[in-house]
Structure 1
């Protein structure tokens, strides 16, 4: 089971804070550092010092880390034109030496669009489908050839389809709870399917839908990596679990029901339940980015027990 650290910087984090977490992620042996792509806080937090841009952050981390994978859960399709996004991600991949992954979603948080003057179109899923076709199509176009795309929402003519990523293929992540369109889109474009903040039972059902869609598309179901994103709150004892839960404004019982919370033994047991339904990767949503001791505990007493 791969463990990846997943951050939500819109809740309040500077680049220096994110750099400290990314370096700890690397030093402690985790597989990757991922971040959300949001420009506005959620809930009862001040969000200071304000938003950081996902791909500018990852560009900086690409030069200041050496091993870990870097990516987004999920880049909002409403934020960037697909041609521009393809250039940005390919450049960061070059800057990292080929360690980037792209999670791409439709975008959903209308309030942040209003706050920063970003258009929030009514039809987002159709746009997402065209964005995936364009981004992957630009990267896959052979050197010297050009790329054209004429869709409902986007039109590209004679694109040189540059720059190219360092990787032969940047892994693409698609996720969500949708029962029909999401699995079909995943089958067509994704290397990984991510189920965010869902129970073992709901994840098993959605993994089954995705596997069926992948097979219907003529691919092997096991070509994809299946993953979950879950909030994490681990303590060496019940008192430490309660302290960490309080620090992020959550209740222990709720976290145990809906995330990965408890002592290392409890968390390892629950991870095993996700592994049994086919999850091979977990994105640990770390909400208190100042608590690097939390990452050390997870590394030493949870990750060390996973094969």
Structure 2
């Protein structure tokens, strides 16, 4: 199983905070550093000092790391025009030597759109479908040829389809929809992500994606099947409870919904989700100042999973 660190900077983080976590991610042997793409704090937090842009952050980290993959879970289709997003991600790919990955979703948080004047249409799945078609189409157009697209939401005419990323950029699609999301992942994704699911719901969710692949003649094993879960682990019960308190969560609730508890409990939960088909897990880290947490998980949990 691959282990990736996933952060939520909109809750309050500077670039330097994220850099420290990314460097720890690399030094401790995790596979990747991912971040959310949001512009407003959720819950009771004030979000100070304010949001950071996901792709600006990843561009900086591209030059300050050397091994880990870098990406979003997930960029909202409402935030950027697909032609410009294709350029941004391709540039981060070049800056990182081919380590950029793109998670793309329809968007859901209306309040952040209101706060920063970003349009938030009621129907967004069509935007996501066309963005995936355009971005992969631009990257896949041979150098020297042009790309055009005439859709309901976007029109591109004779684009030079430049720049190109280094190699192929993995595309992550996720969601809980029973039909449209699995079909979209089957057509465009290299990875399907089930974000914050009920722990016993992973196998049927993945089965729907596999069925969608089979329906279009794609080998379902071409996709990587992943999940994102809150991480809160302690070397003992007291340390776990203290970490839960620090992020404002109840220990019992964390145990029910995440990779949480003592080291032995975390290892046990990872084993159970692996049995359901999880090949990669994004460990959501909420306290970015607690680098000892990452060290504990790398040494005591990942090493046993």
TM-score between both structures, scaled by the size of structure 1: 0.99
Matched with 2:82 is 82
SS in 2 for 1:200: coil
Matched with 2:10 is 10
Q: 2:233 aligned with 1:224, yes or no?
A: no
Off by >6 Å, runs of 4+ in structure 1: none
Query: Separation in 1 of the partners of 2:20 and 2:107?
Result: 28
Query: Separation in 2 of the partners of 1:46 and 1:116?
Result: 16
SS in 2 for 1:302: helix
Matched with 1:274 is 273
Query: Separation in 2 of the partners of 1:240 and 1:166?
Result: 43
SS in 2 for 1:297: helix
Matched with 1:291 is 290
Matched with 2:213 is 214
Kindly indicate whether the alpha-carbon contact (under 8 Å) linking 2:202 and 2:277 is maintained by their aligned counterparts in 1: no
Query: Separation in 2 of the partners of 1:201 and 1:274?
Result: 8
Matched with 1:180 is 179
- Matched residue pairs, number? 305
Matched with 2:52 is 52
SS in 2 for 1:63: helix
Query: CA offsets, 1:238-260, max 9 Å, x none?
Result: 00000000000000000000111
- 5+ residue gaps, structure 2: none
SS in 1 for 2:3: strand
Kindly indicate whether the alpha-carbon contact (under 8 Å) linking 1:139 and 1:165 is maintained by their aligned counterparts in 2: yes
Please report the RMSD computed on the Cα atoms of aligned residues, expressed in angstroms. Answer: 0.5
SS in 2 for 1:185: helix
Query: Separation in 2 of the partners of 1:200 and 1:238?
Result: 22
Query: CA offsets, 1:80-103, max 9 Å, x none?
Result: 000000000000000000001000
Kindly indicate whether the alpha-carbon contact (under 8 Å) linking 1:245 and 1:251 is maintained by their aligned counterparts in 2: yes
SS in 1 for 2:227: strand
SS in 1 for 2:120: coil
Q: 2:111 aligned with 1:111, yes or no?
A: yes
Matched with 2:244 is 245
Query: Separation in 1 of the partners of 2:102 and 2:151?
Result: 22
Matched with 2:261 is 262
SS in 1 for 2:162: coil
Q: CA deviation at 1:108?
A: 0.8
Query: CA offsets, 1:23-71, max 9 Å, x none?
Result: 0000000000000000000001111100000000000000000000000
Matched with 2:132 is 132
Query: Separation in 1 of the partners of 2:124 and 2:145?
Result: 30
Matched with 1:156 is 156
Q: CA deviation at 1:217?
A: 1.3
Query: Separation in 2 of the partners of 1:124 and 1:83?
Result: 17
Q: CA deviation at 1:199?
A: 2.1
Matched with 1:29 is 29
Query: Separation in 1 of the partners of 2:186 and 2:29?
Result: 31
SS in 1 for 2:252: helix
- 5+ residue gaps, structure 1: none
TM-score between both structures, scaled by the size of structure 2: 0.99
Query: Separation in 2 of the partners of 1:203 and 1:218?
Result: 23
Kindly indicate whether the alpha-carbon contact (under 8 Å) linking 1:38 and 1:112 is maintained by their aligned counterparts in 2: yes
Kindly indicate whether the alpha-carbon contact (under 8 Å) linking 1:200 and 1:277 is maintained by their aligned counterparts in 2: no
Query: CA offsets, 1:114-153, max 9 Å, x none?
Result: 0000011122001100000000000000000000000000
